[in-house]
Amino acid sequence: MKRLKRRYLALKLETDCIPTEREFIDAVWTVVTKLFGEYGASLASLALISYDCERKFAVVRANLCAVDNVRAALATITSLNGKEAAIHVVAVSGTIKALHETLGF
């Protein structure tokens, strides 16, 4: 059986409110499910790796085959907790280490 390749997406949140970790990942799962259905969402295998609410920064893991779908779904997010919001993909990498090196953490 072939191993699934994963990619790590660095995300920057632009919002006035500070969503909790649970509220953030629920919003991501909701838009992915709405846009691509249950089957498409399951192919993405989304997982929240890290979340920094002070800097409004998150790292999400997704399958390589679904990275474009996840990016499209993230672009459709317009609100979190009833407040206007936007999520931008800052970088995509194959490893967490390379992602942190790219971002300078």
Q: Read off the pLDDT band of 17 (50, 70, 90).
A: confident
Residues 28-37 have pLDDT tens digits of: 999 999 999 9
- Contacts of residue 2, Cβ cutoff 8 Å, sequence gap at least 6: none
Structural domain for 83, as ranges: 15-103
* Adjacent-strand bridge partners of 34: none
In-domain check, residue 10: no
User: For the whole model, what pTM was predicted?
Assistant: 0.90
What is the phi-psi region of residue 95: left when phi exceeds 0, alpha when psi lies from -120 to 50, beta otherwise?
beta
The domain total for the chain is 1
Residues 47-74 have pLDDT tens digits of: 999 999 888 999 999 999 999 999 999 9
Calpha distance 4→52 (Å, rounded): 27
In-domain check, residue 29: yes
- pLDDT at residue 73 in the model: 94
Percent of the chain residues past pLDDT 90, beyond the cut: 75
In-domain check, residue 39: yes
- Domain CATH for 52: 3.30.70.3250
State yes or no: pLDDT of 18 exceeds 80: yes
